[in-house]
Amino acid sequence: MFKRFRRIRMNGIIRDMVQETRVDIDDLIYPIFVREGEKFRKEIASMPGLFQMSIDEALKECEELLKLGINKILLFGIPEVKDSIGSDALNSDGIIAKALTAIKKSFGQNIVAITDLCFCEYTDHGHCGILNLEQASVNNDATLEITAKQALIHAHAGADIIAPSGMMDGAVKTIREALDGDGFVDLPIMSYSTKFASAYYGPFRDAAESAPSFGDRKTYQMNPANRREAIAESLEDEAQGADILMVKPALAYLDIVREIRDNTKLPICVYNVSGEYSMLKTAAQAGVIDYDKVLLETMISFKRAGADIIITYHAKEVAKLLKDKNL
């Protein structure tokens, strides 16, 4: 006697019926990079198909997304002027505040605008906060003070979800208190709770013009080798009041996604990062993979690992494939 697993694989309808995980259009979040200017749209060299754009163009982008059925965006701002503390991010007339205001004015409740809350796009040194006196690393608690300010800028400009990505200790608690203190008790926090110091972010730093001018991010982002610490980071953010947890990058860290899934009841998001995107694009251009199939298989792997939500530069492509029911 042996089990005939193949019995339920013989017919496509039956295969669909017993499929355990699915990718849904509602899972997808699409990142948008906004900068000053008008009618500006420039392709990011290391991320074919992705653009930096001015606010008017971002509004057109949102329209296109809605047509495809995508209703969630993750906003990154690239300011005109950078300085040591990232002042543009603390300004109610800064790029992110203006972009949010415009998007909420045009689309209201139809689009959920998530804001990446960090300082690396806004600082002249490219680090994710205020430097300490020796200028060697980021000062955690000084950065928390401006983190609270940045959160309120986002909240007042209409952010629907705030997503702190700087990996400062205490950021979630700080933001929650700032929001609650200003009446934003119902504004959710999606924390980049387990974020590794990863070389997969390379192309993003082109896109956001946020590469650190010296050193690296290893004093705040996690060591890719650490699994116990990865779980502890996410559980700590849950304890501080995060509403949604995140693992970033996604593909090389699916074991971490699963383990957090087994240790929390909160929704989990994965960030399918820039390097993961560029690798697939480059492989497709080289003609060595069936791009659409590899793409969907990659998305399914995130869901199977236990993620509920996927931030991906592929969102528009996935939406089209789901429409054609190529899954």
What amino acid positions are annotated as catalytic residues?
A: 195, 248
CA distance 197 to 137: 14
Instruction: Give the nearest distance from C-beta 165 to Zn ion in angstroms.
Output: 6
Q: Which residues between 157 and 186 bind ligand PBG (CB under 6 A)? A: 165-166
270 scored as a contact of ligand PBG (CB under 6 A) = no
Near ligand PBG by CB under 6 A: residue from 128, 235, 260, 305 = 128
Q: What is the chain's alpha carbon radius of gyration, rounded to the nearest angstrom?
A: 20
Near ligand PBG by CB under 6 A: residue from 50, 89, 100, 120 = 120
Burial of 20 (0-12, 13-18, 19+ CB in 10 A): exposed
273 scored as a contact of ligand PBG (CB under 6 A) = yes
Burial of 128 (0-12, 13-18, 19+ CB in 10 A): buried
Count of residues that bind ligand PBG according to CB under 6 A: 12
What is the per-residue DSSP string for 272-291? E-HHHHHHHHHHHHTT-S-H
Q: Which residues between 227 and 256 bind ligand PBG (CB under 6 A)? A: none
| Closest alpha carbon to 55 in 36, 81, 42 | 36
204 scored as a contact of ligand PBG (CB under 6 A) = yes
63 vs 129, beta carbon nearer ligand PBG: 129
34 vs 326, beta carbon nearer ligand PBG: 34
Alpha helices (H) in the chain, listed in sequence order: 12-17, 55-68, 95-107, 140-157, 171-181, 202-207, 228-240, 254-261, 274-285, 291-305, 315-323
Query: Which phi and psi (to 5°) does residue 222 adopt?
Result: -80, 155
Binding site partner of 274, from Zn ion, ligand PBG, none, Cβ cut-off 5-8 A by kind: ligand PBG
171 vs 178, beta carbon nearer ligand PBG: 171
| Closest alpha carbon to 62 in 6, 103, 12 | 103
Residue linked to tokens 């959920």: 112
What is the CB neighbour count within 10 angstroms for residue 137?
A: 15
63 vs 124, beta carbon nearer ligand PBG: 124
Q: What type of residue sits at position 18?
A: V
| Contact indicator for 50, 44 with CB cutoff of 8 Å | yes
123 vs 264, beta carbon nearer Zn ion: 123
Spell out a b/e string for 170-188, using b for 16 or more CB atoms within 10 Å of the CB, else e: ebbbbbbebbeeeebeebb
Binding site partner of 273, from Zn ion, ligand PBG, none, Cβ cut-off 5-8 A by kind: ligand PBG
Near ligand PBG by CB under 6 A: residue from 118, 130, 230, 256 = 118
128 vs 178, beta carbon nearer ligand PBG: 128
Which region among 36-44, 79-87, 98-106, 200-208 touches ligand PBG (by CB under 6 A)? 200-208
310 scored as a contact of ligand PBG (CB under 6 A) = no
Instruction: Give the nearest distance from C-beta 56 to ligand PBG in angstroms.
Output: 24
Residues contributing to the site for ligand PBG (CB under 6 A): 116, 118, 120, 128, 165-166, 201, 204-205, 217, 273-274
